[in-house]
Structure 1
Amino acid sequence: MSTSLNQRLFNAADALRSKMDASEYKDYLLGLVFYKYLSDQLLQTVVEQAGESLKDYDTLEKQEELYRAFLKDESSKDDLIQTLKDVISYDIEPDYLFHHLAKQAKQGTFQLNALHKGFIYLTTNFEQFEGLFDDIDLTSRKLGQDDQQRNITITEVIKQLDEIDVLSHDGDVVGDAYEYLISEFASSAGKKAGEFYTPKMVSKMMARIVTLGEEDRKIFSVYDAAMGSGSLMLNVKDYIKDTRNIKYHGQELNTTTYNLARMNLILHGVDDENMNLNNGDTLNKDWPTDEPYVFDSVLMNPPYSAKWSSDDSFMEDSRFMRYGRLAPKSKADFAFLLHGFYHLKDTGTMAIVLPHGILFRGGAEGAIRQKLLEDGSIYAVIGMPSNLFFGTSIPTTVVILKKNRTDRDVLFIDASNDFEKERNQNKLTEKHLDKIIEAYTDRDFKDKYSYLASFDEIKENEFNLNIPRYVDTFEEEEPVDMDHVGAEIKEIREEQKQLQKELYDTISELTYSKEDEDWIKGALEVFKYED
C-alpha cells in the first residue's frame, strides 16, 4: 500500500533530525504535512468544481494556474471562494499554497514569513483551524541561529514534501501515513511518546471489542477522555460499516497533543460536525457536561498512576460519589476509569488500559474495585505483554466495563506471553489479536489462557483480580528419563576414554630432546588410561 509514501514522508524530516529530538521536530513535520494536504486538497477541489478532468489537470502546477485564472476573473472569483468554503470549509490564497511556496523554495526565493502568513490566514479566518499551527515556531533557534539558517532548514523540508502526492491514494492512506509518522516519532521519542500514542495493534483490539455487535449502527459515538493523538478512537471506523456518522468526542490536557489529534481526525476525513474535541483537564473539571455526555463506547489509555488533587470536594462529584472513596493522590488510575465509566451509555462498552496494580492494590483502590465488582460493572480483564507501550516496560491490563448487567462474573484472559519481539519493543500480531477476541466472545475456559470467574470466587479472593489467581499458566516440566540420562553419561565416558587413548598414543610417538623429557613424562601421566 503506502510503504513508499510512509518512508518518503519520514525522510522529509532529515533536515530536522540533527537539530532537535523527535518529540520536537514531529510538530514541524506533521504540521507541514497537514498544511500540504489542505493546499493540495483545495487545488483538486477547484478542478472538480470547475467541471474539469483531473487527467487534464494532473499536476499541482496546472491546478494552481487554473485556480489563479478563476480568481482573476471578477465574475467567478467570489462564487469560487464561496464554493470552496461550502465544500471543504476553507480557502487559501494562491500565494500561500504549499506548492507555490515549494516553487519559491526550489528557486531560492522562499521566505518563512510567507508560510507564517498562510498559517495565520487559516487560523484567523476558519474556526476549525484556530490555534492549530501554534506549535510550529518558525522563529525557533533550533531551526537555525539566524533567519537565513532557519529559512534554509524549512526550505529543505518543503522541497522534500512537495515531491510527494498525498492525494493519489484511495481510502485513508494519507491518514494512515500520518499515523505511521506518529508511531515512528513515538518510537524515537521514548518516554515522551506515551503522551500521544497507543500502539496500533492494542488500539485495534480495544476498538474491535467496543464495536462487537454494533457494526450496523447508523450513528455510533466514541469518547476518549485522554485522547492523545486521537489514534485510539479513530480505529473504531474500521469496524463500523457506515463511517459517515461516527461521532468522535475527545479531551486532551496537552495543547500540542490536542492540536495533533485535530489534524489527525481531519486527515482521516472526519467532518467538523462529527468532531467534538476539547483541550482541558479531564479529572479536575468534568467534560462534556452538555448533551451528549454519554456515549456508545469509551476508549482510554490514560497516563499510568498519574497524580491528581483527590480533593474531598470530589466526593460530591457525580462521577465519583457513589463509590465511597476517591482514587489516591499519587495514583489517578481509578479516577480516570470512573470518569470514563460515568460517560458510558447504559448499553455501551468501555475499554481502558491501566497498570496491573489496579487489579490488586488495597486501600481506597480496593474499595472502589469492590464496588465495581458488586455492581457487575467489570466485564473482563485482559493481561497484556510487558514492554508493549512506548515509555514504559511494565505489563499492562485492559479492563472492559459494561453497565446494567444481570450477571457479576468476570472473564480473565492472560495474553501476557503472546507477542513478537521487534527492536526494543514487543509487538502484537493479527494472530494474537484474533486469539484474544475469540476468547473474549466465547467467554469460557481455555487452558492456561482464559477463565470465567463467578462473583463468589472473586469474593473468596477478597476482590483481588490479579490474573494468576484465576488463570493457571504454570507449565509442568517433562519428567526426566533417568535410563536415557544414564545411557548418555556412559556414552560420554566412552568418548572421553577414546580421546585420552588417542592423545596418549600421539604424545608417545613424539620425538623430543633431553630437555623436554620431563614435560613429556608429565603429559603421559595426565593422559594415562586403562583398557
Structure 2
Amino acid sequence: MLKKNEKMTDIKYITETKKLIDDLKSVCANYGLGNDGNEFKIISQVFLYKYMNDKFSYEVKQMSPELASAENFQKAYEEMPEVKRQFLLARLGNKAPHLKPEQLLSHLFNNSNQPNFSEIYFDGTLRNISQENINLYSIKSTSGAKDTMFDELSKFITDPSQRDNFCKALVNKLVNFSFEKMFSEKYDFFATIFEYLIKDYNSDSGGKYAEYYTPHAVARIMASILVGKKEDVKDVKIYDPSAGSGTLLMNIAHAIGEKNCTIYSEDISQKSSNMLRLNLILNNLSHSIPNIVKGNTILEPSYVNTKFDYIVSNPPFKLDFSDYRDNLDKDSNRERFFVGIPNIPKKDKDKMAIYLLFIQHIMYSLSEKGKAAIVVPTGFITAQSGIEKKIRQRLIDNGWLRGVVSMPSNIFASTGTNVSVLILDKNADNEHIVLMDASKLGETIKEGKNQRTVLTTEEEQKITDVFNEKKAVEELSVVVTAEEIKAKNYSFSAGQYFEIKIEYVEISAEEFAQKMNEFETTLKNLFEQSNQLDKEILENFKKLKFKG
C-alpha cells in the first residue's frame, strides 16, 4: 500500500523495480525453476548484485568528475590507472562495494557470448565480489565463521548445457534497468520493494522459527513510541535478538536516522539473516552488516556483554527448546534469566513459552537509559501466576514499564494469537503508565485464506499520539500509577482499569407504572407456560412402562 505523500516519480520507480523482479521470476520459470526451492536465492541475489553494481557506479561518479562525464563508464573505469583506482576505492569506504572493472554488469554483458560464460564470468564474478568484500557484507555465525554473499547460481540449473543461456537471460534483464536515477532523487521506499521481493517466499511464516517480518503498522507504531518527535538521538546502539528480516530494525533506524545509529541483531535462521542483509543494504545501513549474527540468541548470545539503547523484538512465542533447556539452568545464566526458565511440559513441547526467555534477555540487555518495545501474546499481560507474573512484577518494582498497547486481533495474517506490545523505559514515569486497548480499531480484510486486520494511517497516528501524550481516552486508554497496577495484581490490561458507567434515564411516575405492568404481564405469561410444561412432563412420565 502506497503512502498518500508518495510522489508520482516514486510510484514510477516502484513500478519499474517490481517489473524487474517479475522479469527475473519469468527467467526462472522459463528454465524450470518457478516455485523451486532455490528460486528465492536466485531472485534476491541477482537483484542484490544489480543494486550493488549501480550503487557503486553512482557513488564513484560523485567522487570522480572523470567517470561522471565519461561517455562509456566501463571503458573509462578500465583505463583508469591502477593507483588512481585504488585511491578512489579507499575514498569510497563502506558507502558501496569495491568492484573491479571486470566485475561490473556491463563487462558481463559484453562477454555473455563467451564459452563457459556461466562458470567463468557469471559465477566467477559473484564469487570474487563475495570474497573481496567479505568484511563489508558477510554475516557471521556464533562461531565467528563468515558466510558467502552469493551462491554459484548457475548450478541450480541441473542441465549443464542450459546454464550459459540461463545466466545470459538474467544479465539481459538487468542491463536495461538502472537504480542510479533513483539514488539521485533520494529514492526512499525500499520497504515497499523489499516486501514485494519476498512476498512469494514467506508463506511458511518462517517455519519453525517465527515470522520473517512484522506488519509495518506495528513496526511503525513501536518506532514512533520509542523515538519521540522531540528527541535528538545520536550515536546509539539498536538491537533485535530475534531479527527476522529486520522490519522492526529498519523502522526504528529510520526514526532515529541511519547515520545516528548502529544495528546489532541475532537470529537462528540463515534465510532470515540473508534477508536482513539485503534489507540493510537497500536501506543505507550497510555499515551494520558485520553486526548480524546467525545463531541461537537464548543458548549462545553473541552480545551478552553488550548493553543497548534501543531494543525491538517480535520473538517466537512458542518453541521446543527442551534439547538445551538444562544448559540454560546454570549459575552463569541466573542474572540473565532472573525469574526462571519455563519447565518442559509432559505433552506438547512445541508449546514451551520461549518468549519469556526473550523478554528477560531483553531486560538484561538494556543500557542505563535503555528503551524497548516487545511483541508478546496478550495472555502475558494478565496471567495470574508463574514466570509471566514475576516478569510483570519486576518491571513495576524496577519502574521500567512505560505502557502497553493491546493490538486488534488478526493484526498478523499468519496467526490468530492476540498480541500486545510492551513498552519499557529504564527512566519511565511511574505515575503515568499508559495502558491501551486498541482491539476495536482497524478494518478486516481477506489476505489469501486468512483474514487480517489493517490499521489506517489515522489510527496508527492516534495510537502513537495518545500513548506519547499520556492521554486517557474513553474505551481506548487509561493512565495509571505503579501503585494502582500493584493493587490489580500487576495486571497490564487496560480493560481492568476502565470505569464502569451506569446510564440513568429519567421517566415519569406514569411511565414507570406502565413499564412495571408490562414486566408483570410478561412474567405471568412465562409462569403459565412453565406450569403447563410441568404438567405435560408429569403426564408423559406416568405413561412410561417397563418392557422386559
TM-score (norm 2): 0.75
Fraction of identical pairs, as percent: 22
Greater than 6 Å deviation, 4+ residue runs: 106-109, 472-476
User: How far apart, CA to CA, are the structure 2 residues paired with 1:9 and 1:471?
Assistant: 52
Point out where structure 2 has 5 or more consecutive residues left out of the alignment: 1-9, 139-145, 345-351, 506-548
Alignment: residue pair count: 464
Letter in 2 for 1:259: N
Task: Give me the whole-angstrom Cα distance separating, in 1, the residues matched to 2:444 and 2:173.
Answer: 33
Residue 521 of structure 2 corresponds to which residue in structure 1?
Answer: none
How many Å separate the matches in 1 of 2:483 and 2:421? 22
Is the partner of 1:179 in helix, strand or coil?
Answer: helix
- How big is each residue's C-alpha offset from its partner over 1:436-495, in whole Å with a ceiling of 9 and x where there is no partner? 11110222321111112333443343223344323579999x9xxxxxxxxxxxxxxxxx
Partner of 1:34: 48
By how many angstroms is 1:35 displaced? 1.1
Tell me how far apart the structure 1 counterparts of residues 339 and 473 of structure 2 sit (CA, whole Å).
36
| Superposition pairs of residues 15-26 of structure 1, within 5 angstroms | 15-16=27-28, 19-21=33-35, 24-26=38-40
Residue 168 (str. 1) matches residue 173 (str. 2): no
Structure 1 equivalent of residue 226 of structure 2: 210
The answer to whether structure 1 residue 311 and structure 2 residue 331 are counterparts is no
| Larger CA Rg, structure 1 vs 2 | 1
1:429 to 453, 456, 477: 456
Distance (Å, rounded) in 2 between the aligned partners of 1:312 and 1:79: 55
Aligned residue for 2:403, secondary structure, equals: strand
- The answer as to whether partners of 1:186 and 1:197 remain within 8 angstroms in 2 is no
- CA apart distance, 1:178: 4.4
Alignment partner, residue 469 of structure 2 = 442
Q: CA offsets, 1:97-137, max 9 Å, x none? A: 22332455589984244222122212222322345545635
- For the structure 1 residues 174 and 351, does the alpha-carbon distance in structure 2 shift closer, same or farther, using more than 3 Å as the test? closer
The answer to whether the 8 A contact 1:384-1:397 is kept is yes
- Structure 2 counterpart SS, 1:278: strand
CA distance in structure 2 between the partners assigned to 1:396 and 1:474 by the alignment: 27
SS at match of 2:492: coil
Cα deviation for residue 280 of structure 1 reads 1.7
Letter paired with 1:296: D
Deviations 1:55-112 (A, max 9, x none): x447xxx211211222xxxxx1233034214414543333332233245558998424
Q: Which residue of 2 aligns with 1:282?
A: 297
- Contact conserved, 2:27 with 2:169, CA < 8 A, in 1? yes
Write the deviation string for residues 262-289 of structure 1: whole angstroms up to 9, x where unpaired.
2321332225378622222111123314
Partner of 1:298: 311
Root-mean-square deviation (Å)? 3.4
Whether 1:366 and 2:366 are equivalent positions in the alignment is no
- The more displaced of 130-139 and 7-16 is 130-139
The 2-side partners of 1:266 and 1:408 are apart by: 42
Instruction: List runs of 5+ in structure 1 lacking aligned partners.
Output: 71-75, 479-531
Q: What's the counterpart of residue 497 of structure 2?
A: 470
**1:59-458 to 2 correspondences below 5 Å:** 62-70=72-80, 76-89=81-94, 90-105=97-112, 110-126=117-133, 127-130=135-138, 133=148, 136=151, 138=153, 143-169=156-182, 170-173=185-188, 175-176=190-191, 178-182=193-197, 184-185=199-200, 188=203, 190=205, 192=207, 194-212=210-228, 215-240=231-256, 243-272=258-287, 276-290=291-305, 293-308=306-321, 309-311=324-326, 313-314=328-329, 316-317=331-332, 320=335, 323-329=338-344, 330-361=352-383, 362-405=385-428, 407=430, 410-424=433-447, 425-458=452-485
Cα distance, 1:435 vs structure 2: 0.7
Give secondary structure in 2 for the equivalent of 1:348: strand
Alpha-carbon distance in structure 1 between the residues aligned to 2:277 and 2:239: 14
Displacement after TM superposition at 1:43 (Å): 2.9
Partner of 1:14: 26
Q: Hey, what does 1:501 align to over in structure 2?
A: none
Q: CA deviation at 1:360?
A: 2.8
C-alpha separation in 1, matches of 2:259 and 2:456: 28
Amino acid at match of 1:16: C
- Inter-partner Cα distance in structure 1 for 2:187 and 2:290: 17
The AA in structure 2 aligned to 1:447 is: E
